[in-house]
Amino acid sequence: MAMAALRREGRRLATVISPQPITALRSSLLYEEQAPLGVRSISTQVVRTRMKSVKNIQKITKAMKMVAASKLRAIQVRTENSRGLWQPFTALLGDNPSVDVKKNVIVTVSSDKGLCGGINSTSVKISRALRKINSGPEKETKYVVLGEKAKAQLVRDSKKDIEIIFTELQKNPLNYTQVSVLADDILKNVEYDALRVVFNKFQSVVSFLPTTATILSPEIVEREAESGGSLCDLDSYEIEGGETKAEILQNLAEFQFSCVLFNAVLENACSEQGARMSAMDSSSRNAGDMLDRLTLTYNRTRQASITTELIEIISGASALEG
């Protein structure tokens, strides 16, 4: 019945359309069939498959954005509270990144997973720049790597300079006890004059600040204090107990490093989730734009197919009547 209706419609249109336009339409159709692959010659099935893939990708990116937002809310308050741990040490012992020392250890903090923008590449670039700045005769620079992404980049050109690698830090919720064990492990296995912790400080969902915190060994702190530097105003405090100044500085340096490392890991984790939110939001918008273009292509292809069938019906009706 549908074919009969189409034939009747074709006969009705054949009485209206002159033979010359039909010839022109035939030649145009022949040109489209011989033309390279374009909008009108794409199969609708191919376009539908592509649209389905883009929709699935968009669903995944939206879900990842929501997961990142949930994790960000959970960790942001802890990150802000951890900033108060290391600030008293900075006021007491100072934070002087320009101190010239022989043994530098760069602690690079990164994430274990990707899809979070350029935060890991930024940390690695700063670590390499610090190594270049502090290199020289009779100087030694080593790496301590936290996170799979920094490890993958630094192993390429600095494998022999990597002392310790820690991964899967965020497999469980981060706490000070966990990070203090890592800090103690680093201090026991690495000789240093200055520890330079490189991380991304969280500012907002769309921005982070690459930061370097410097922790000096007790010997360097005493050397700088004796040479008239601004470090270590410990003599202005009253010390109770039988501990010497060197022992107090040793304890303060260890506690300072664990507090700075704890804050650095939290700050970097917070920056990671914020960057992942932004990246997944951009991916979802790009998928939506691509879906709009594919929908337009699909509609044009379908209309072209319908027009082609109508032309064939009209041409066949005209041939039968002629």
Q: Is 282 helix (H, G, I), strand (E, B) or coil?
A: helix
Q: What is the 3-state secondary structure (H, E, C) of 108-144?
A: EECCCCCCCCCHHHHHHHHHHHHHHHCCCCCCEEEEE
Domain range spanning residue 192? Answer: 61-228+246-280
- Contact (Cβ atoms closer than 8 angstroms) between residue 303 and residue 311: no
Q: Is 233 helix (H, G, I), strand (E, B) or coil?
A: coil
- Contact (Cβ atoms closer than 8 angstroms) between residue 146 and residue 173: no
Angle between the 44-93 and 245-321 helix axes, to the nearest 10 degrees?
170
Which residue bears the tokens 């594919």?
Answer: 294
Q: Residue 236 is inside which H or E element, if any?
A: none
pLDDT band for 252, please (50, 70, 90 cuts): confident
CB neighbour list of residue 169: distance below 8 Å, 6 or more residues apart: 112, 146, 147, 178, 182, 265
CATH number at residue 259: 3.40.1380.10
Task: Give the separation between CA 13 and CA 299, rounded to whole angstroms.
Answer: 24
Work out the mean pLDDT of the chain and round it to a whole number.
Answer: 82
pLDDT digits (tens, 9 = 90+) for 106-143: 999 999 998 898 899 999 999 999 999 988 888 999 99
- Quote the pLDDT of residue 34: 39
Tell whether the model's pLDDT for residue 294 goes beyond 80.
yes
- Quote the pLDDT of residue 18: 39
What average pLDDT does range 289-293 have in this prediction? 95
Reading the block at residue 129, the tokens are 């720049």
Domain count, the chain: 1
- Quote the pLDDT of residue 174: 83
| Residue of 2, 77, 10, 5 lying closest to 311 (CA atoms) | 10
Please indicate, yes or no, whether the overall pTM of this predicted structure exceeds 0.85: no
Q: Decide if 45 is inside a domain.
A: no
Q: Decide if 50 is inside a domain.
A: no
Stronger pLDDT, 176 or 225, i.e. the higher one: 176
Q: Residue 228 is inside which H or E element, if any?
A: none
- Quote the pLDDT of residue 40: 44
Residue type (1 letter), 250? Q
Q: Decide if 275 is inside a domain.
A: yes
CB neighbour list of residue 28: distance below 8 Å, 6 or more residues apart: none
- Quote the pLDDT of residue 235: 64
- Contact (Cβ atoms closer than 8 angstroms) between residue 44 and residue 302: yes
Q: Decide if 162 is inside a domain.
A: yes
Task: Give the separation between CA 24 and CA 41, rounded to whole angstroms.
Answer: 19
Q: Decide if 301 is inside a domain.
A: no
- Contact (Cβ atoms closer than 8 angstroms) between residue 274 and residue 72: yes
Reading the block at residue 50, the tokens are 């592509």
pLDDT digits (tens, 9 = 90+) for 14-41: 443 334 343 333 333 333 333 344 444 5
- Quote the pLDDT of residue 234: 63
Q: Decide if 265 is inside a domain.
A: yes
